[in-house]
Amino acid sequence: MKPAARHNNTDLLTGPIWQKVLAFAMPLALTGMLQQLFNAADVAVVGRFVGKEAMAAVGSNAPITGLLINLFIGVSIGANVVISRFTGQRNFAKVRQAAHTAVVLAVVCGLIIATVGQVIAAPMVHLLGVPETIAPLSIKYLRIYFGGMPVIMLYNFQSAIFKSQGDTRTPLICLAISGVVNVGLNVFFVVACGMDVDGVALATVLSNLLSSALLFRFLLRTDKPVRITVKDLRIDGEILKMILRIGIPSGLHGIAFSVSNLAVQSAVNSLGADVIAASSASFNIEIFCFFILNSFGQALVTFIGQNHGAGNRERCDRIVRQTAVLNIITTMTAALLILVFARHLLGLFNKDPSVIEYGYTRLAMMMPFEFGNATMETFSGALKGYGRAIVPALATFGGVCTTRIIWVYTVFAQKPSLRRLMAVYPVSWAIACVVLLVAYLVIRKRVWAEHLRRTAEQTD
């Protein structure tokens, strides 16, 4: 099988923008959706064949896994920006060194999460206030899932390498193959072998092993500058610093979301098993909308990274404007479809009427306001593409994390209900949008002033 990269030679530095952004973003959105299907399949299989307690156990883990994973996913964004910038500068020797550094770093990050995860699994489950009836199942799922972090991280870092070259199709192909395997393994382990949450966790790890192995094989064979050779797999210290300078703030950006979601999940857990199960099912539906808006944010990381590296200010401005419009239109279309079919989709996870109604309440409180989430992701992606990842991290901490934590312990605590709790999402999105828009306008001006100054110094 030939690498799909051979058929995706998209030039991000020239030509029409909106068509290329769509060509980049849509496969990326589908990739995220397929990746989420790993978790959705977990929830659906245990919900239908084991019970809503096992379903709630799997769903209650989402904020915990996100807390650690988001830090290292952020580091992969750093790799994307660095490789994209070198690509825009046509410095292919550095592109190659950065790709090799990213692969080794992925394995190291995965091993760190796997080790830390075994230690914190039980304390985190109890800290979240997961009911004692489902806590043992939650811990069992977490420990197996964390054990597979090296291959999960390897997939995400390798995907970032391909994205830096404008290729989002190759990761999609690999994930599509492993996604089919994941669903089959879920049914086999749970239905045929009589396993519960351990079966779906094992299926997720094995399917991620397959997708990361396929991507690695493509990296060995691609004709792009990011081609990998095993003997050259090592970390370049200078490039590592560049990746971490962008990647760590990007990871903190993700952690800020996870911390706020931990507070929200803790509040959800206080409302009982039915609400936990409903929230889990709803999350596995609404996340598909997030993958759409996030794909445009990731497109901006790569497009801005390359064009900033090439010194094309006017094209960077047009990229941000056109991507913002595309993001809002596409996201709101998806949100509307989710609302129309909400109850049918929720029924795929669990037929309990109470679970379906609680799930619909959550979706109805969030979907109409997803344009705010899309706007937030647009400016965040642009700032990361410019290498200013610390700004979205601070904006997210102040506008999202702080708002949600305060809301849980004040507005929600006064009169606990799912509807009152979910209202925090549109409120926090609105605050973060304002902060990020102001930050983008200020940073954009500074970035290009620095570029002009460096260009003048090099000319002299």
CB-hemisphere CA count at 13 Å for 91?
15
Model confidence at 8, pLDDT cuts 50, 70, 90, reads very low
Q: Which alpha helices (H) appear in 89-167, and where do they start and end?
A: 92-127, 135-147, 149-164
The confidence score (pLDDT) of residue 51 equals 76
Query: What is the DSSP secondary structure assignment for residue 367, as one 8-state letter?
Result: G
Query: Is 130 a residue whose pLDDT tops 90?
Result: no
Weakest mean pLDDT among 58-67, 82-91, 194-203, 441-450 = 58-67
53: left (phi over 0), alpha (psi -120 to 50) or beta: alpha
| Residue 176: strand, helix, or coil | helix
Query: Is 240 a residue whose pLDDT tops 60?
Result: yes
The confidence score (pLDDT) of residue 6 equals 40
The confidence score (pLDDT) of residue 350 equals 82
Among 109-118, 183-192, 363-372, name the most confident range.
Answer: 363-372
CB-hemisphere CA count at 13 Å for 146?
25
The confidence score (pLDDT) of residue 444 equals 92
Instruction: Give me the count of residues in the chain.
Output: 460
The confidence score (pLDDT) of residue 9 equals 45
Q: Please tell me which residue, 46 or 64, carries the higher pLDDT value.
A: 46
The confidence score (pLDDT) of residue 459 equals 67
- Supply angle C-alpha 438, 425, 121, rounded to 5: 110
The confidence score (pLDDT) of residue 136 equals 86
Query: Is 144 a residue whose pLDDT tops 50?
Result: yes
- pLDDT > 90 in the chain, percent: 51
224: left (phi over 0), alpha (psi -120 to 50) or beta: beta
Whether residue 246 contacts residue 389, with contact meaning beta carbons closer than 8 Å, is answered with yes
Query: Is 94 a residue whose pLDDT tops 70?
Result: yes
The confidence score (pLDDT) of residue 183 equals 86
Contacts of 116 (CB under 8 A, 6+ apart): 68, 146
Contacts of 341 (CB under 8 A, 6+ apart): none
The confidence score (pLDDT) of residue 426 equals 93
Query: Is 243 a residue whose pLDDT tops 50?
Result: yes
The confidence score (pLDDT) of residue 460 equals 59
Distance between CA atoms of residues 408 and 411, nearest Å: 6
Which structure tokens are listed for 15?
A: 């030509």
Ramachandran angles phi, psi of 2, nearest 5°: -80, 145
The confidence score (pLDDT) of residue 7 equals 40
Query: Is 315 a residue whose pLDDT tops 80?
Result: yes
The confidence score (pLDDT) of residue 414 equals 93
Weakest mean pLDDT among 2-16, 58-72, 164-178, 281-295 = 2-16
Mean pLDDT of the chain: 87
The confidence score (pLDDT) of residue 10 equals 64
- How much is the average pLDDT of 333-349? 93
The confidence score (pLDDT) of residue 304 equals 94
Query: Is 40 a residue whose pLDDT tops 90?
Result: no
Model confidence at 3, pLDDT cuts 50, 70, 90, reads very low
Weakest mean pLDDT among 68-77, 131-140, 177-186 = 68-77
Q: If we measure between CA atoms, which residue out of 207, 329, 337, 338 comes closest to residue 284?
A: 338
Model confidence at 4, pLDDT cuts 50, 70, 90, reads very low
Whether residue 94 contacts residue 236, with contact meaning beta carbons closer than 8 Å, is answered with no
The confidence score (pLDDT) of residue 39 equals 67
The confidence score (pLDDT) of residue 293 equals 94
- How much is the average pLDDT of 82-104? 93
Query: Is 66 a residue whose pLDDT tops 70?
Result: no
Query: Is 38 a residue whose pLDDT tops 90?
Result: no
Query: What is the DSSP secondary structure assignment for residue 168, as one 8-state letter?
Result: -
Ramachandran angles phi, psi of 149, nearest 5°: -60, -35
- How much is the average pLDDT of 70-97? 88
- How much is the average pLDDT of 244-265? 81
Model confidence at 201, pLDDT cuts 50, 70, 90, reads confident
Weakest mean pLDDT among 242-256, 356-370, 419-433 = 242-256
Q: Please tell me which residue, 49 or 119, carries the higher pLDDT value.
A: 119
The confidence score (pLDDT) of residue 103 equals 96
Model confidence at 48, pLDDT cuts 50, 70, 90, reads confident
Distance between CA atoms of residues 314 and 361, nearest Å: 44
Distance between CA atoms of residues 274 and 256, nearest Å: 27
